[in-house]
Structure 1
Amino acid sequence: MKIAMLTNNYRPFVGGVPVSVERQAGALRALGHEVTVFAPDYGEEKGETEDPGDALEAQEEHVIRCGCFKRRMKNGMVYPKVAARQVREAFERESFDCVHVHQPVFMGNTALWLKRRYQVPVVYTWHTKYQDYLHYFPLFRREEQAGPIRRLLIRAGRDLILPAYMRWFTGKCDLVLAPSEGMKRQILETGVRTPVEVLPTGLGEEFFETDERRAEKIREKYLQGRRYLFCTVSRLEREKNIPFLLEGMRRLKEEDMEPFRLLVIGKGTQRASLEELARKMGLEDEVTFTGNIPNQELKHYLAASDLFLFASRSETQGIVIQEALACGCPVVAVRATGVEDAVEDGRNGYLAPEDVDAWCLKVWKALEGPAVKEMRARARASVRGCRSVLLAMRAERMYEGCLEKRRKEAAGCADRYAYEHGEESSPVSFPHLFKST
């Protein structure tokens, strides 16, 4: 099968969607499919990559970079051009069986254009709770400071226009994929009528193969005589709720928990303000901002940690949570959609409401409960079914289902044409049959 994957963000941009696209494309190629990723061209920017040079070049062989507008969002995301020249030329050269798009605008609009022009099925993965990311657009910033009319426009955009657009967009797709069961329920509640299936982002085998010696060196480097090592992995942006984690660390320190250190892994526009907040809270010795860690190293940091701490309420799956569990690191997280699907309260970690006292109690329980070792083993076992190759096989069946449905629709069109024109069989070409409906 020849599959075109369209995404608004990809490496060097660091985030959950680029990780998902890259892993799924790689796993499908391992099954023998041809997958081409259509991603933004970031110009001369190299960014922080996760792979060494040779591996990166191999990945780029399957990537076509597409034109973007010069303006960027505050967090570094770009605005790809709809039906960019690079997309048009690729589809004129080659015949793709399926389009898999990962956003509903920009590349999403391109996907619908490709469906109309080339009669290919479109599969869409609903990765993001878009209402939690509207603050990246100028109109929706600082709602609390807006006047009455602007506040009304903001609320109308969030509560009426966005849901209506998503219903329209998904109605044009052949299949909608949700990263978790919780997200599937939310999608269906919006009134989406297109079939919705669950397909999480898979885990590479490397996350199940940690190096104990490397993990121990990381513990020695950061603990320096302390008892506990915690970590969190996140873009340092408003929607990730990092201030809640810092408040939790301050509360644990005030309650005389044995000495600990939290590693905040990731980068973002909020880093400087978060570092200043940590200083004001008196957490200079307890919290370390590491910046990004290459993916091949991240697993060792997760394996080295006693707990993975998480406070985001904007997740649809929580890829980093599953990575932590695969490394045997129990999770303490704020209860939210996506997170609930990965964390089994009391078995591979703990869930708590967005309340600092309740959350801190769960941290204490995870560290000093009677079954700490068993919890680490259960963490690994809980994500065995999330291996990339297994999920790629599921995606393969879903693509084939979309193709079979369109073949049946084409056959139905042919039968109707023959009946209406008094012919035994239709002389109309396969693409023309779709255009006639």
Structure 2
Amino acid sequence: MGEAPSTLPGRRRTHSGARRGAGGSPERRRVLIGSDTYPPDVNGAALFSARLARGLADRGTDVHVLCPSADGPPRVTEIGGAVEHRVRSAPSLVHETVRLAVPAGLPGHIDRLLARLRPDAVHIQNHFIVGRLLLRAARRHGIPVVATNHFMPENLFTYLHCPAALHAALGDRAWRDFVRVTSGADHVTTPTRIAAQLLLDKGFGRTVEAVSCGTDLHRFRPLGGGSAERAGARRRLGLPDRPTLAFVGRLDSEKNIADLVEALPHVTVPDTQLVVAGAGPQRPHLEELARQRGVADRVHLLGFVPDADLPDVYHAADVFIIAGTAELQSIATLEAMASGLPVVAADAMALPHLVQTGRNGYLYPPGNAGDLAKYAGEILAGGEERDRMGEESRRLASRHDHQASLARYEEIYRELSPDPGGRIRRL
């Protein structure tokens, strides 16, 4: 396949199963993360994978990542303390921004990589090309495997141009494939208890652990300067200083962003604007819908916002709103809550895990733009009540500290490491 060789040769294990450095001192634990999507891809699985890799590296783990090349040719680079082994990729036929790993020659490349790195654990983020092949290879090499699920078939229907009448059948087949592949892992996690129960309901026959994606409580935190700081964030983003509803995420149909635009004319607080940070194929449709509803001057589609600038998006907002119905957790909602924002969310999938009605926001029936507008308007007009809900959001988000999630994954890797006989212990 002609993949680029690793620039960091693997170090051999001792007979005890742990690598030893100079003088016999224990070396860092080594983990290989495998993902079919990784930055610059913009989606929850890619974002989680990168934050996991870089967070573990910051905490002292020797982290390697196997993922598709962002532009085609294979290469090995180090970013954020994690070594990225980018395999040859080709454009996807179903999505303009997604590239897929080229399967030809990939199994042999993975075998050579595992033999060279000899990781203590493999952690796959998907069950598609990279994840599937890496899981199989890890089993052959006797390396324990953790699998984290970010998958829901609903996220694929639009890209596959699948008629609605076939969604149920396609979804059932996709879940059967998921169960078959990931049953080979030693430990399976997913972000929330609701998402874990979904896997059990779909036929997965083993325990699934809920481990939050987590959020950086230092980067994403409430405003310190009140309305003046909020006005400053709006200026930096080129926005008018108006009451603001915000959403952060891909502009894809399963996110139901059209519901946010439909709700805007019905929000009773004058001059309320909608700010959307994210890119995707739905942008032309959203622009046309805003014109049709007479709110084009109050809908601001910011496009892709670099991760470093995301705190400004949350600080520019008064309320975070989300209409998605296929969220296994929603990293963006966690970031908004950590930033001290009340949330109005669709009462679907795992969003009720984050939003408690009357405490830090409201849940509304999916697709009901009228209720979305009503709840958003009530919070905007609430003054002290809005501030109280924002404080509750921050308190609830504090349960999802990214460092706690990283610590739990470190524990899982340790618990799964081979014993002196090389046997894998399944949790």
Name the structure 2 match of 1:425.
Answer: none
Could you say what secondary structure the match of 1:120 adopts? coil
Residue 217, structure 1, aligned to residue 238, structure 2: no
Percent of matched pairs sharing the same residue = 26
Aligned pair count reads 386
Could you say what secondary structure the match of 2:246 adopts? strand
Could you say what secondary structure the match of 2:296 adopts? coil
Q: Letter of the aligned partner of 2:231 in structure 1?
A: E
- Deviation readout 1:73-106 (Å, 9 max, x if unpaired): 3242222134356534322322111110111111
Choose the corresponding residue for 1:126, options 149, 166, 171.
149
Residue 143, structure 1, aligned to residue 163, structure 2: yes
Could you say what secondary structure the match of 1:232 adopts? strand
Larger helix percent: 1
Q: Verify the 8 A CA contact 1:214 1:300 in the aligned structure 2.
A: no
Name the structure 1 match of 2:379.
Answer: 366
Name the structure 1 match of 2:120.
Answer: 97
Name the structure 2 match of 1:414.
Answer: none
Choose the corresponding residue for 2:52, options 24, 27, 46.
24
Residue 351, structure 1, aligned to residue 363, structure 2: yes
- Deviation readout 1:114-172 (Å, 9 max, x if unpaired): 223211111111112124423323xxx2415xxxxxx56x643322x222212211211
- Larger deviation, residues 19-28 vs 67-76: 67-76
Query: Do the aligned partners of residues 157 and 193 (structure 1) sit closer, same or farther apart at CA in structure 2, a change above 3 Å counting?
Result: same
Could you say what secondary structure the match of 1:42 adopts? coil
Could you say what secondary structure the match of 1:89 adopts? helix
- Deviation readout 1:11-41 (Å, 9 max, x if unpaired): 1111111110111112212222111111110
Query: Do the aligned partners of residues 70 and 356 (structure 1) sit closer, same or farther apart at CA in structure 2, a change above 3 Å counting?
Result: closer
1:251 CA displacement: 2.3
Structure 1 residue runs of 5 or longer lacking an equivalent are 46-55, 145-150, 412-429
Could you say what secondary structure the match of 1:275 adopts? helix
Choose the corresponding residue for 2:71, options 40, 43, 51.
43
1:71 CA displacement: 4.0
Residue 187, structure 1, aligned to residue 199, structure 2: yes
Q: Verify the 8 A CA contact 1:229 1:262 in the aligned structure 2.
A: yes
Task: Give distance in 2, aligned partners of 1:129 and 1:164.
Answer: 12
Once the two structures are superposed, the pairs formed by residues 278-289 of structure 1 within 5 Å of their partners are 278-289=290-301
Query: Do the aligned partners of residues 357 and 70 (structure 1) sit closer, same or farther apart at CA in structure 2, a change above 3 Å counting?
Result: closer
Choose the corresponding residue for 1:328, options 340, 350, 372.
340
Query: Do the aligned partners of residues 71 and 242 (structure 1) sit closer, same or farther apart at CA in structure 2, a change above 3 Å counting?
Result: closer
Residue 59, structure 1, aligned to residue 43, structure 2: no
Could you say what secondary structure the match of 1:191 adopts? coil
- Deviation readout 1:273-296 (Å, 9 max, x if unpaired): 211111111111110111011112
Q: Larger C-alpha radius of gyration, 1 or 2?
A: 1
The alignment's C-alpha RMSD in Å is 2.5
1:217 CA displacement: 1.4
Could you say what secondary structure the match of 1:264 adopts? strand
Structure 2 residue runs of 5 or longer lacking an equivalent are 1-28
Task: Give distance in 2, aligned partners of 1:104 and 1:44.
Answer: 21
Residue 14, structure 1, aligned to residue 27, structure 2: no
Name the structure 1 match of 2:139.
Answer: 116
Query: Do the aligned partners of residues 118 and 210 (structure 1) sit closer, same or farther apart at CA in structure 2, a change above 3 Å counting?
Result: farther
Q: Verify the 8 A CA contact 2:223 2:340 in the aligned structure 1.
A: no
1:400 CA displacement: 2.0
Task: Give distance in 2, aligned partners of 1:57 and 1:29.
Answer: 11
Name the structure 1 match of 2:19.
Answer: none
Task: Give distance in 2, aligned partners of 1:214 and 1:295.
Answer: 19
Choose the corresponding residue for 1:270, options 282, 292, 310.
282
